[in-house]
Chains A and B, each alone.
Chain A
Amino acid sequence: MTKRSFVPIIYIIFLMLPIYWLLNMSFKTTNEILGGFSIFPREFTLDSYRTIFSDPSWYMAYVHSLIYVGLNTLFSIAVALPAAYAFSRFKFLGDKHLFFWLLSNRMAPPAVFVLPFVQLYSAVGLHDTHIAVALAHTLFNIPLAVWILEGFMSGVPKELDETAYVDGYSFPAFFGKIFIPTISAGIGVAAFFCFMFSWVEMLLAKNLTTVAAKPIVAAMTKTSSASGYELGLLAAAGVLTIIPGAIVIYFVRNYIAKGFALGRV
């Protein structure tokens, strides 16, 4: 233990405090929450969680979220893989401009796209479906996946490709049997980031759905309007949204920084 290691410890304590407070609230009854300030729940209760797991409008919202997040990750990775390969291996007409144009979509504020998206997806008959949200989120996830995968692919020597072609592999066979297994870590990281940014986004997800595909981030807004302000329920729902993230983080812990640096550290 050196003096220095206190800095990260204090920082982590600061990070954990609001999460603890949310957890604390989720185990209290509504009366106790509104009754006053307390560091621990005095009447420990699982009622809020019980409500969520027994009410379809709550637990189905988690299912809806997981469906579109999964679809989005699948779409993004599937189309980003060949594109990232092209960017990492070849020069072609307009490649640099195309690359920046892709990145520019990661910079687009969702607020700009909300209204046109609602109109676009209503026009093609996809409003209030999982596919609409999954497709809308590819706007920022495809560019991100291309960037991360391109970074990882640039680290693979080109001799690998050339040797495979000499050995008589066709491009699809090489790509599927040799190249994809080689960059599986990169694919994992890209998938993690697609998962993450689709999971945390609310503005588009909320406005593109009404009932049939209503995600958890939209369902949570009802606690403030329905019967007063049900803080306990809100807190429990919040705690449950953190769990999937905590699970996937564990698998990519050593690569997460590399992913944020778009595969370029």
Chain B
Amino acid sequence: MSKTVNQKAWWLVLPVFVMVAFNALIPLMTVVNYSVQESFGNNEFFWSGTVWFQQLLADDQIHESLLRQIVFTSIVLAIQVPLGLSIALCMPKKGPWVSVCLVLMALPLLVPWNVVGSMWNIMALPDIGLLGKGINALGIPFNYTRQPMAAWFTVILMDVWHWTSLVVLLCYAGLVSIPDAYYQAAKVDGAKPWAVFRYIQLPKLKHVLTIAILLRFMDSFMIYTEVIVLTGGGPGSTTKFLSIDLVQKALGGFDLGPAAALSIVYFLIILLMSWLFYTLMMRNEAN
């Protein structure tokens, strides 16, 4: 659609601008402020330059939680995107079951995040949980409060449960919007199912897949509530992801300077990655 140039449109955007600026700019300025100052309590602050950022670069604990975060996000994306896509490809296109499927699949998305944590906490308890008891019954020792591998397995399974439906719903919407004519043309040409997928469905799904990856990247990179309820970051600190580390620093230890420096770096990483996805997406849309 061709848009007309109209500077008065700013008046329509102004309320949004004011509200988001109040919520985003003031806190961000606070964080920037803390990140370059030293505090000894009593609201006295001293200029400390980049000392917190240097400390951040040398902090092994943060390196470890960043590494854990990257591994977690990669695993989650590597499972959820292909899985979601395959489930969407197997869904019926029309009929009474479609609505039922969609409602049931969307249900995990509406569960409060702490309840997701509690639910899997109960589910994976080794003595009285369905999952924990089940795995133990197979003869594999499983206790997510003691074994790091079991904890990781549970956290990833929980995230797959929680968010795969998002990918399914997006891909399904993309698939339904492909006109029948494409499939008929493929049939005439005698295309194999794989060719149909590779040359018709996949290109048409590029746009929704980009959105799915963008959303899953952002949300998995800031996971906090579900993990803190499920494992509390443990055993030890084996499931301590970036947000957990940050909240412990900011609210637990009141290490304002280091926490603020970490906040800024954390936000910049997400911003950079999301900007890359966003430009990709907009380029797709322009084509």
A112 to B222, CA, bound (A): 10
Given contacts A108-B267, A110-B222, A254-B99, whether A87 and B251 have CB atoms under 8 Å apart is: no
Which of B87-95, B141-149, B184-192 participates in binding chain A?
A: B87-95
Within 8 Å by CB of A253, from B6, B102, B127, B247, lies B102
Task: Contact check, B23 vs A138: say whether CB atoms are below 8 A apart.
Answer: yes
Task: Contact check, B128 vs A33: say whether CB atoms are below 8 A apart.
Answer: yes
B140 within 8 A of A: no
Within 8 Å by CB of A142, from B20, B30, B267, B275, lies B20
Within 8 Å by CB of B122, from A6, A25, A79, A111, lies A25
Task: Contact check, B23 vs A107: say whether CB atoms are below 8 A apart.
Answer: no
Within 8 Å by CB of B111, from A105, A200, A257, A264, lies A200
B113 within 8 A of A: yes
Task: Contact check, B259 vs A93: say whether CB atoms are below 8 A apart.
Answer: no
Which of B47-55, B56-64, B70-78, B161-169 participates in binding chain A?
A: B161-169
Task: Contact check, B218 vs A17: say whether CB atoms are below 8 A apart.
Answer: no
A104 within 8 A of B: yes
Residues of B within 8 A of A203 (CB): 224-225, 247
Within 8 Å by CB of A260, from B9, B17, B120, B211, lies B211
B133 within 8 A of A: yes
Bitwise interface map of A from 98 to 132 toward B, beta carbon under 8 Å scored 1, else 0:
10101111111111111111011000000000000
Q: Specify the chain A residue showing the minimal Cβ separation from B262.
A: A112
Residues of B within 8 A of A207 (CB): 251
A138 to B13, CA, bound (A): 15
Task: Contact check, B20 vs A138: say whether CB atoms are below 8 A apart.
Answer: yes
Task: Contact check, A18 vs B123: say whether CB atoms are below 8 A apart.
Answer: yes
Task: Contact check, A89 vs B3: say whether CB atoms are below 8 A apart.
Answer: yes
Task: Contact check, B112 vs A202: say whether CB atoms are below 8 A apart.
Answer: yes
A42 within 8 A of B: no
Task: Contact check, B243 vs A250: say whether CB atoms are below 8 A apart.
Answer: no
Residue with the greatest number of chain A CB neighbours at <10 A, chosen from B13, B129, B251, B285? B13
Task: Contact check, B129 vs A21: say whether CB atoms are below 8 A apart.
Answer: yes
Q: Specify the chain A residue showing the minimal Cβ separation from B102.
A: A253
Task: Contact check, B19 vs A91: say whether CB atoms are below 8 A apart.
Answer: no
Cβ < 8 Å to B, chain A residues 233-262: 234-235, 238, 241-242, 244-246, 248-250, 253-254, 256-258, 260-262
Cβ < 8 Å to A, chain B residues 139-184: 161, 164-166, 168-170, 172-174, 177
Task: Contact check, B24 vs A139: say whether CB atoms are below 8 A apart.
Answer: yes
Tell me how far the C-beta of A115 lies from the nearest C-beta in chain B, rounded to whole angstroms: 4
A34 to B129, CA, bound (A): 11
Within 8 Å by CB of A115, from B112, B133, B208, B259, lies B259
Task: Contact check, B208 vs A21: say whether CB atoms are below 8 A apart.
Answer: no
Task: Contact check, A36 vs B9: say whether CB atoms are below 8 A apart.
Answer: no
Residues of A within 8 A of B207 (CB): 261, 264-265
A220 to B121, CA, bound (A): 14
Residues of A within 8 A of B28 (CB): 116
Residue with the greatest number of chain B CB neighbours at <10 A, chosen from A85, A88, A135, A142? A142
Bitwise interface map of A from 127 to 157 toward B, beta carbon under 8 Å scored 1, else 0:
0000000011011001100100000001001
Given A89-B3, A109-B246, A114-B251, output 5 extra A-B contacts at Cβ < 8 Å. A21-B119, A79-B15, A199-B112, A238-B118, A257-B102
Closest 10 CB pairs of A and B: A245-B110, A116-B27, A257-B173, A109-B222, A86-B12, A7-B90, A111-B243, A90-B9, A86-B9, A82-B12
23 contacts between A and B (CB under 8 A): A7-B86, A11-B164, A15-B107, A79-B15, A90-B3, A92-B5, A98-B17, A107-B218, A108-B267, A108-B270, A111-B266, A112-B31, A113-B27, A115-B250, A120-B26, A135-B22, A157-B1, A241-B111, A244-B110, A257-B102, A261-B170, A264-B211, A265-B170
